[in-house]
Amino acid sequence: MPKQFNWRRYTEVFTSFLLLGCTSFGGPIAHLGYFRREFVERRRWLDESAYADLVALCQFLPGPASSQVGMSLGIYRAGLPGALIAWIAFTAPSAIVMVLFAYGIAQVSDIEQAAWLHGLMITAVAIVAHAVWTMGRTLCVDPIRVLIAGGAAAICLLVPTVWSQLIAIAVGGSAGLLLLKSKDNNPPTRSIAVSYGHAWALSALALFLALLIGLPLLGAMNDSHTVALIDSFYRSGSLVFGGGHVVLPLLQQEVVPPGWMSNDAFLAGYGVAQAVPGPLFTFAAYLGAAMTSSPNGIAGAVICVLAIFLPSVLLVVGALPYWDRLRHQNRVRTSLQGVNAAVVGVLLAALYDPVITSSIHNTTDVAIALGGIALLIIWKLPSWMVVIACTTAAVAVATIV
């Protein structure tokens, strides 16, 4: 790890992640595959074991796992500045596209009746259903974990509050610690070295907690919409386990009930987010730009993107120096199994409400959604192709009828 400015490495990090930001279709799991091919196989920045260590850490932390792996790779290659460089390069392309879509959708009259919009909403059903299926097969491999997932889904549906997802995940982690065995956990054998000390890590963790606690208090003390916006997106970015798909119910709860955006426009942006490369969290750029309340437009997009990603940056910087010791503990790895199962339950609840309840109105919608799921699971088409297929089908049906 470099201990002084190294512009060659900074340029290398920026160009490599910018290319990935323009071409990495397919969501967070696909992103991890792109990163492995680029940085382990081709560039040889690190070996398989070290890369697996970084992925394990970012799956443990709340936030967008693929973006956090990218930040970690930036740190591993170019120190703390590398995290910022990697994040900007990987995030900017899709964020710009989402802002442009927000400006375009603002010009559409009678948006609730648009067939293409309904097609995007149906696409969200297929995408989230595929995520539930894929994660369930990987993370719920025994009856206990299936039960944890079901309990988490029930908590989210029966107690629909901002904190229900966090409660479900906490219950899942506790259940995993009590009910699951650690005999199948293979302790890691490779260490991860970073160039900065514990002072930076502790400062990042302290700032993370200070903002998580302080922003709601600051919002309660004044009526600033900007503070409320930062608080909502920072809290959403702080409480998401499982990646971009799980942020859907959190953001929906934050922006739709207060009237900042209609649910139709919300799901339209979510559908488009599946069709662009890069992290799904850039959906926040669309939300910030398309809101009816000020700040919106480019200013709103920048505020929302920075707020939702900031927790991920702080947690990665804060956790990397301590991860070596923590990841060797059996109790931590066992609890994480329960957390992962609970993530599946949170995603299952989101699939039902708001995705299905807002998007599926008749048997034709069911058929289009099932077709999209088949394209993803059976034919393994990329998400952007499924977006095109479902939207085209919805427009065709509306034209015929």
Q: What is the chain's pLDDT, residue by residue, as a tens digit (401 residues)?
A: 444 567 889 999 999 999 999 877 666 766 877 788 889 888 988 877 678 777 767 877 888 888 999 999 999 899 999 999 999 999 999 999 999 999 887 666 555 567 877 887 788 788 778 878 877 888 898 999 999 999 999 998 998 775 777 788 889 989 999 998 754 455 555 566 677 888 999 999 999 999 999 999 998 888 888 999 999 999 989 877 656 666 777 788 889 888 898 888 888 888 788 778 889 899 999 999 999 888 889 999 999 999 999 999 999 999 998 876 776 778 877 887 888 788 788 878 878 877 788 789 999 999 999 999 999 889 988 777 888 899 899 999 999 87
Residue 316: name the closest of 92, 88, 43, 56 by CA: 56
Classified as helix, coil or strand, 186 is: coil
Asked whether 87 and 281 are in contact (CB, 8 A), the reply is no
Q: Percent helix, strand and coil across the chain, each rounded to 5? A: 80, 0, 20
**How far apart, in whole angstroms, are the C-alpha atoms of residue 321 and residue 319?**
6
Computed on alpha carbons and rounded to an integer, the radius of gyration of the chain in Å comes to: 21
CB-based contacts of 206, cutoff 8 Å, min separation 6: none
- Give me the half-sphere count of Cα atoms (radius 13 Å) on the Cβ side of residue 139: 28
**How far apart, in whole angstroms, are the C-alpha atoms of residue 52 and residue 60?**
12
**How far apart, in whole angstroms, are the C-alpha atoms of residue 23 and residue 35?**
12
Asked whether 280 and 27 are in contact (CB, 8 A), the reply is yes
End-to-end distance of the chain based on CA atoms, in angstroms?
A: 62
CA angle 53, 56, 61 (to 5 degrees): 130
**Prior bond of 354 cis (ω within 30°):** yes
CB-based contacts of 158, cutoff 8 Å, min separation 6: none
